[in-house]
């Protein structure tokens, strides 16, 4: 048995696959939803404002590290 994952782009293809399944030539099963991607998509949908640039992220990380290092040294 060989397994394929198929993304259906046209509803007509769905009908063709269902016909093949009715003829017992193939079996169709739904794959479970990816919970992680669901969460990512919800977070992206709720995000407001502008996405920070790599430079902005780097500056923020460096500032936090500097602050943390200063606490350990004191």
- Write out pLDDT tens, residues 38-59: 888 888 888 777 878 889 999 9
Q: Which residue has the tokens 């669901």?
A: 38
What confidence score (pLDDT) does residue 41 get? 82
What number of residues does the chain have? 74
pLDDT at 74: 67
Rounded to two decimals, the pTM is: 0.42
pLDDT band at 31 (very low <50, low <70, confident <90, very high): confident
- What value does the mean pLDDT of the chain take? 87
Compute the distance between CA of residue 28 and CA of residue 18 in angstroms, rounded to an integer. Answer: 8
């Amino acid at each position: 048995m060989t397994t394929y994952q198929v993304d259906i782009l046209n509803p007509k293809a769905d009908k063709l696959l269902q016909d093949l399944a009715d003829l017992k030539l193939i079996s169709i099963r739904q794959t479970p939803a990816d919970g992680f991607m669901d969460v990512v998509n919800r977070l992206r949908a709720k995000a407001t404002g502008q996405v920070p640039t790599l430079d902005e992220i780097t500056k923020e990380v460096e500032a936090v590290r500097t602050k943390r290092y200063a606490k350990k040294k004191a």
